[in-house]
Structure 1
Amino acid sequence: MISGLTALSLLVLLRAPATQGTRPAVVLCRYAALRDALVLQADAFSGRGATAIFERFTRGNGIAFSEGPRWPTLRHFALGALKEFGLGTRSVEECVLEEAACLLGEFQATGDTAWKKRGTSVGVDAGAPFNPRQLLDNAVSNVICSVVFGNHYGYEDMEFLRLLDLFNYNFCIMSSRCTFSPPSWTGSQAHITEYSETSLRVFLSQQMQLHQQTRQPGKPHYFIHSFLDQIDKVQGPAALNSSPAAHQQAPGTQQHLSSVPTGTENPESHFQAEMLVMTTHNLFFGGTEITGTTLRYGLLILLKYAEVLSPGKVPAELDGVAGRMRAQTLEDREYPLCTNTVLHEIQRFISVVSFGLPRKRMCLGAGLAPTEIFLTSILLRFFLLPVGSHSDTDLTPQCTGPGNVPPAFQLRLVAH
């Protein structure tokens, strides 16, 4: 029980609007009650009610949207497995630094290519405008892929870019009013949403099938191997071979999920094929969309408030920490005052996952691809310039719900 507060200051029972039925809601009032519940008794208050859009896709599976004992079990396993593969250590950091270097090269090449298409000669001061979304998402997602699957996708891989577009589309849907009410889409929206959900499931299921065939049981090299080993340990190898999640097909094929044999899996187990599919999805979503969106919004904010990047502020501080000759590392996280303030203010201002999502500050995927390394690497290499004026840069979210999606924008990057 939460002690020391009157019933009135502790909570208020409300009724949701008629459009959402008569589900009671609990509202915690005052700082002491919030701290008591969300900090001192975090596990007891970590549960969340079902949300229409998430239930439709996850069916209560995976780390992010599971409830009861399943959530701590999956999180404990995933955290342990990811630590074995370098979460929070130099091995993952080196992967992030390598990908950040690839990203900077792609930024430079994209700007140069855009100038050539305009018929303009490429020079040191070139800075053709471009939308950074796909490049940022590709870089962040490659870090997740390397740990989860051991894969790396080129920045011009059209199939992978299509998948990233589907992630972004799903994040936009998640950040709309559809999140809080049962989906009532019709026509093209319903078709695109179903196609998006199915395509993501198929991609992840195909990765599971591939690694199930090529792995050495008991000798995991990637996160997916560890999860497959755990499924074998809990349910036996035969459970995977006939699992519905292991036989999903691409959209448009005749075989439907409901026509696949149900297999020998124990549906009550925390470790099964469907749980692996949704757990890897959660890692991808946390890394790609949350980190990628934070980077996009961070760049957009810095375009508007250019004084932060003026001489003597963030650029000078970064030079003092690492210099121009090397990228920032995890050891550099104790940034000087101005840089540290800017990084925290960006996260506070944009609030990418603003409220209501289960355990929104416990995202394992985002931990695999630290925002700071990507952002500071960009700032060390390039000046940021808006296409128009700084004052005209619009920070209004494209859509707002549990997540805030930044508006589409272009920027120009000029090398230091």
Structure 2
Amino acid sequence: MSVFQDFVLLILSSPSTLLGTVAFLLILWFSYSSFFSQKTEREPPGPRPFPLLGNLLQIDLKRPYKTLCELSKKYGPVFTVYFGPSKVVVLAGYETVREALVNRAEEFGDREISPIFYDMNQGHGILFSNGDSWKEMRRFALTTLRDFGMGKRLAEEKILEECHYLIKMFEEHKGKPFKTPSLLNWATFNIISSIMYGSRFEYSDPRFVTMVGRASQSIRIAGSASVQLYNMFPRLLGWIKNRKQLVKNAENAFVDNMVIIKKLKETLNPSICRGFIDCFLIRKQREEESDIKETHFNDKNLVFSVTNLFGAGADTTSTTLQWILLLMAKYPHVQDKVQEELSSVVGSREVRVEDRKNLPYTDAVIHETQRLANVVPMSVPHKTSQDVTFRGYFIKKDTTVFPLLTSVLSDENEWESPHTFNPSHFLDEEGKFKKTDAFMAFSAGRRACLGEGLAKMELFLFFSTLLQRFRFTPPPGIQEDELQLTAAVGFTLGPLPHELCAISRQ
């Protein structure tokens, strides 16, 4: 009953208690009517909801993906659950999620924009938008990222340069225990910075440190229980602390980016694109000169596209690197095999992207980390663009849909040992790398991660380069089996706070 008690306390501590109570009663009445009204279509099954609260008492709001996986065992791969008064259809298992996101991409391809993400993005940008604006921004972002070398030699050079800066920071600890998240965040955020702004930042730059810290904090608290309660009852709970912090962070990010954009405008050369922002400004200028009235190339779309890419384009990569170094320290025999393969194939020279095809075990370890780490367990919520009948069930237009990626990455029908760290999932009998369709770490369909190619390159180059130079171990006095693989709470799932030692191999 702890969630219910917390909710009551939130209501009672509202600055407008009387109005909050009246609103509570009104919503209760309307919710009761809607929950138990007569239905004529066969809808997905699910646990019976309470008025207003829905299935809130059954859901662990800190780790809702775990509750939903358990519910899928009882109600099947397509089921309904109520987050407060909000109806959600959950899709579980590889076959179901693939059918919806890939085969029925149009019907399941809209984005559900929760109240907190509307507060932060106002329907602009790439990640939390729909319609023509989203199509235009995504198309432009994909084209621009390709032009700047996503998956090509130009991006490779940027990543390898950043590897050198990261190695120096690791070396400064001289084999003593330290926390990896900040350094890995700075490195991965610098890759997207060089693509967005046309240049990297020094790790000592206070503005950069603030921007990275703010983005990481926002991603973490966006997955908190209090923010999820706000999403369910936005008119009642707009005053909660985490919601205010997220809005403040979004406003500060907007201001910081406008300052950077202003400086880039002052030195803009229409014949040379230094980065994403330059390309956007040049396109915006051309459309203004052509007197295009309904252009989507405006300042808000620019800033929110940059902040979307700055956060989403770096956080998941950094988080995956945190997991993989932790796993190497926990499973030293796996680390041994990676380093043996690197020594045999690459030696002491610099690792290049083209080496990946000759490093199957290293590649398998990276993929298995992504699978087991399950960094974005519920994907970013989708929404149906029209009424749809799916697997015999009727799902109404504008229904929120959770493609439960964690159920895909741990599907017992697809993986030999879904709940253990097993690189063999991605190796054939001859030890060659084996692609697996059920690997959906980047989601799938029209809303799949647009930076997938860049992320894969970063993971390979950062991991391989670090393993060439260092051996990762637990701090003195801690055994490998004492290292915890429990995920922290957040919109994305990182490891709990921990320290590692990076012992130089040279």
Q: TM-score, normalised by structure 2?
A: 0.66
Aligned to 1:159: 207
Instruction: Say yes or no: does 1:72 pair with 2:98.
Output: no
Cα separation, 1, equivalents of 2:135 and 2:86:
26
Aligned to 2:58: none
Aligned to 1:60: 123
Cα separation, 2, equivalents of 1:273 and 1:237:
17
Aligned to 2:449: 363
**C-alpha distance after superposition, 1:333-352 (max 9, x if no partner):** 22544323211110011111
**C-alpha distance after superposition, 1:331-384 (max 9, x if no partner):** 122254432321111001111112140585333346435212111111111000
The answer as to whether partners of 1:286 and 1:364 remain within 8 angstroms in 2 is no
SS of match in other structure, 2:376: coil
C-alpha deviation, 1:71, in angstroms: 2.2
For 1:412, give the aligned amino acid.
C
Aligned to 1:393: 483
Aligned to 2:346: 322
C-alpha deviation, 1:43, in angstroms: 3.8
Instruction: Say yes or no: does 1:193 pair with 2:246.
Output: yes
Instruction: Say yes or no: does 1:144 pair with 2:170.
Output: no
Aligned to 1:341: 364
- Dislocated runs of 4+, deviation >6 Å: 13-17
Aligned to 1:116: none
Instruction: Say yes or no: does 1:209 pair with 2:251.
Output: no
The answer as to whether partners of 1:52 and 1:178 remain within 8 angstroms in 2 is no
Cα separation, 2, equivalents of 1:218 and 1:291:
32
Cα separation, 2, equivalents of 1:393 and 1:163:
30
C-alpha deviation, 1:25, in angstroms: 3.1
Write the mapping of 1:188-337 to structure 2, written as runs, cut at 5 A: 189=242, 192-236=245-289, 269-310=295-336, 313-327=337-351, 329-337=352-360
SS of match in other structure, 2:501: strand
C-alpha deviation, 1:98, in angstroms: 0.9
**C-alpha distance after superposition, 1:388-414 (max 9, x if no partner):** 2211111212214x4213212111111
The answer as to whether partners of 1:16 and 1:24 remain within 8 angstroms in 2 is no
C-alpha deviation, 1:218, in angstroms: 4.8
C-alpha deviation, 1:196, in angstroms: 2.1
Aligned to 2:5: none
C-alpha deviation, 1:88, in angstroms: 1.4
Write the mapping of 1:45-194 to structure 2, written as runs, cut at 5 A: 45-109=108-172, 111-112=173-174, 127-182=175-230, 184=237, 189=242, 192-194=245-247
SS of match in other structure, 1:413: strand
Cα separation, 2, equivalents of 1:29 and 1:394:
27
**C-alpha distance after superposition, 1:173-198 (max 9, x if no partner):** 12222453326375764554343222
SS of match in other structure, 1:69: helix
Aligned to 1:252: none
Residue among 462, 484, 492 paired with 1:374: 462
Instruction: Say yes or no: does 1:414 pair with 2:462.
Output: no
Aligned to 1:119: none
Cα separation, 2, equivalents of 1:320 and 1:36:
42
CA distance change for structure 1 residues 397 and 297 in 2, over 3 Å: closer, same or farther? same
**C-alpha distance after superposition, 1:303-357 (max 9, x if no partner):** 22222113xx111112223222222x22122254432321111001111112140
Cα separation, 1, equivalents of 2:243 and 2:104:
40
C-alpha deviation, 1:275, in angstroms: 0.5
The answer as to whether partners of 2:257 and 2:303 remain within 8 angstroms in 1 is yes
SS of match in other structure, 1:383: strand
The answer as to whether partners of 1:70 and 1:270 remain within 8 angstroms in 2 is yes
Aligned to 1:251: none
Cα separation, 1, equivalents of 2:177 and 2:374:
26
The answer as to whether partners of 1:284 and 1:365 remain within 8 angstroms in 2 is no
Question: Which structure 1 segments of 5+ residues have no match?
Answer: 1-6, 113-126, 239-264
Cα separation, 1, equivalents of 2:197 and 2:187:
15
**C-alpha distance after superposition, 1:137-157 (max 9, x if no partner):** 111111111111122211222
CA distance change for structure 1 residues 36 and 152 in 2, over 3 Å: closer, same or farther? closer
Cα separation, 2, equivalents of 1:40 and 1:102:
43
CA distance change for structure 1 residues 51 and 194 in 2, over 3 Å: closer, same or farther? closer
Instruction: Say yes or no: does 1:403 pair with 2:504.
Output: no
**C-alpha distance after superposition, 1:202-223 (max 9, x if no partner):** 1111122111221023532211
SS of match in other structure, 2:375: coil
**Identical columns (%):** 31
For 1:163, give the aligned amino acid.
M
The answer as to whether partners of 1:13 and 1:26 remain within 8 angstroms in 2 is no
SS of match in other structure, 2:266: helix
C-alpha deviation, 1:29, in angstroms: 6.7
**C-alpha distance after superposition, 1:69-110 (max 9, x if no partner):** 33222111111112112111101101101111211111102x
Cα separation, 2, equivalents of 1:52 and 1:22:
14
CA distance change for structure 1 residues 380 and 104 in 2, over 3 Å: closer, same or farther? same
Question: Which structure 2 segments of 5+ residues have no match?
Answer: 1-40, 54-82, 232-236, 383-441
For 2:450, give the aligned amino acid.
L
CA distance change for structure 1 residues 223 and 14 in 2, over 3 Å: closer, same or farther? farther
For 1:182, give the aligned amino acid.
Y
CA distance change for structure 1 residues 140 and 31 in 2, over 3 Å: closer, same or farther? closer
CA distance change for structure 1 residues 363 and 29 in 2, over 3 Å: closer, same or farther? closer
Cα separation, 1, equivalents of 2:244 and 2:290:
36
Write the mapping of 1:25-36 to structure 2, written as runs, cut at 5 A: 25-28=88-91, 32-36=95-99
The answer as to whether partners of 1:13 and 1:27 remain within 8 angstroms in 2 is no
